[in-house]
Structures are given as structure tokens and as C-alpha cells.
Amino acid sequence: MDSFLKEFYPKVYLRMLEDKDISNYCKFDSQLLTVFTSSMYISGLITTTLFASTFTKKFGRRLSMLFGRAMYVVGAAVGGGAVNLSMIILARVLLGVGMGFSTQAVPLYLSEMAPSKYRGAFSNGFQFMLVVESLIASFINYGTEKICGGWGWRISFTLAMVPSFWLLTLGALFLPETPNSLIQQGKGHQKVIALLKKIRGIDDVDEELEDIIKAE
């Protein structure tokens, strides 16, 4: 958005105004702009590789999802209220941390909670929804760019917290932990059996419990 570039990357904005014929590569040739665009993905990669997997294994899938969603909310709030470049980059880093934890914990949670015959459908459904969310985000960016006054980018940033806050308060907050995670955390088998009976709707869960114990 022009208003965003004008506020945080004035040199890039002036370069765009001065010469309409130069390539986009030359227009947006800025190290700071590169930091902004790539910081989320780099922090997400580092988080997933170094922290999220260990955290998810030790503290559970549910807590990892909650933490990831909380980072999304905080990152969106910081970005929406940013007054300088440092805040904008920090917001992207926080969003990357949220992305790292979410992409680590959510597919794992779905696969462990879903009945075996529906496991593939749940996993594919998760990937499909990521594409849908990207499409919705593109429409939001397109719409907010048309807002007069130069604050459309703030709305775009802030709206990122809406689905995260919704899932944080009404979703993951009330979800049970997965049977696999309970085994990893050393919880009693009786607690795991009770959970399996509840989510499977049957009383004979000994075979699945045995498979989970062997897998862990």
C-alpha cells in the first residue's frame, strides 16, 4: 500500500513516484523492506525447527496451539498500532512465531484426535483451509488498500487477530489434550482410556491405546 510505504519506507515510495518505468525489482530494492517481508517466514522457520516441536512434545498440542494463537493476536495488535519500523518488524516476527507453533501443533492435533479412517481427510482439510485463508487475506488487502486516509494497512494488520482470538477463546481453550500427548507427558493410562472412550464413542479402546503406547 502506498500509505504504508510512505510512512515506513519513504525512500522506496519516492523511488516509485520518480520513475514509473523502472522495474519492480529496482523500485523495491531495499534491505529494510526485505527484512519486513521475510522476517515472518524466517522467525516461523526458526521457531518450528528449534522450539515448537520440543515445546509441543513436552507441554502438549493444546498449549502449543494456545501459545501460537496468542502470538498471532499480539503480533496483529502490535502491527496495527505500529508507529515506527521496529514495531512493524517486531509484529512480523511475532506472527512468524505464531505461525511456527500453529503449523507444528495443529496438524499433529488433528491427526491424533481424528479416527484413523478420517485422518487423511482432516489433514487435507487443514491444508485446504490454509489456501482459503490466503485467498481471504488477499481480498482483505485489496479492499483495505482502497480506504482513504492512509490507515487501511492498519485495518489489514489488525484483522489478522480476529480468527486467532476467536479460535483462542472459543476453540483451543476448551479442547482436550490428545491421547498421544497424555502418554508422552506420563499421564495415567486410565485418563487416556477415559479420553479415548469419550472421543471415539466406544468402550473398547484397548487396541488403540496399545498402538499409541508402542508409537511413543
Q: Are residues 58 and 96 in the same domain?
A: yes
pLDDT at 29: 73
Assess if residue 74 is contained within a domain: yes
Assess if residue 86 is contained within a domain: no
Q: Are residues 107 and 194 in the same domain?
A: no
Q: Are residues 99 and 203 in the same domain?
A: no
Q: Distance (Å, rounded) from C-alpha 48 to C-alpha 35?
A: 19
Q: Are residues 212 and 130 in the same domain?
A: no
The whole domain housing 212 covers 176-216
Q: Are residues 126 and 211 in the same domain?
A: no
**What is the average per-residue pLDDT within 1-7?**
77
Q: Are 108 and 117 in contact (CB under 8 A)?
A: no
Q: Write out pLDDT tens, residues 189-206.
A: 889 999 999 988 888 888
Q: Are 92 and 202 in contact (CB under 8 A)?
A: no
Q: Are residues 98 and 205 in the same domain?
A: no
User: Which pTM value belongs to this model?
Assistant: 0.85
Residue with cell 492512509: 150
Q: Are 184 and 57 in contact (CB under 8 A)?
A: yes
Closest by Cα among 16, 11, 41, 38 to 27: 16
Q: Are residues 159 and 185 in the same domain?
A: no
| Domains of the chain: total | 2
Q: Write out pLDDT tens, residues 113-130.
A: 998 888 899 989 988 988
Give yes or no for residue 1 having a pLDDT over 70: no
Q: Write out pLDDT tens, residues 127-146.
A: 898 899 889 988 988 888 88
Q: Are residues 99 and 193 in the same domain?
A: no
The CATH number of whichever domain residue 160 belongs to comes to 1.20.1250.20
Closest by Cα among 103, 94, 97, 64 to 76: 94
Tell me the three cell numbers of residue 2.
Answer: 502506498
Phi, psi values for residue 157, rounded to 5°: -65, -45
Q: Are residues 56 and 156 in the same domain?
A: yes
Q: Distance (Å, rounded) from C-alpha 38 to C-alpha 101?
A: 18
pLDDT at 20: 65
Closest by Cα among 102, 90, 91, 110 to 47: 102
